[in-house]
Copies of this chain bind each other. A is one copy, B any other.
């Protein structure tokens, strides 16, 4: 069975608002390409979108650590949970 994370409604709303903004920015990038906008301007905008996505990731990572990882530690099986977190942090830092 698939593992789930229960998120409160306000967190879900906040994360999805940010993701909707990012979706709009990715559509904006397509328009920039169609309009032959200057490469450097497109690259600056790609950096902004990437940074926005990473901020969503860090927000999720923090709340995962405050809730899921902290709960695992309290119930005595934090080790696996921390290893899993570290793996995703490393992957994240290379993307």
A46 to chain B, nearest CB (A): 4
Copies per complex of this chain: 4
A37 and B4 within 8 A (CB)? yes
Interface size class of A (residues with CB under 8 A): 35 or more
From known contacts A19-B30, A33-B16, A36-B4, infer whether A86 and B57 are also in contact, taking CB-CB under 8 Å.
Answer: no
A8 to chain B, nearest CB (A): 11
B23 and A39 within 8 A (CB)? no
A10 close to chain B: CB less than 8 A? no
Q: Sample 12 A-B pairs with CB under 8 A, ordered by A number.
A: A3-B41, A4-B36, A7-B33, A12-B34, A23-B30, A26-B26, A44-B88, A46-B92, A62-B82, A65-B85, A70-B82, A94-B94
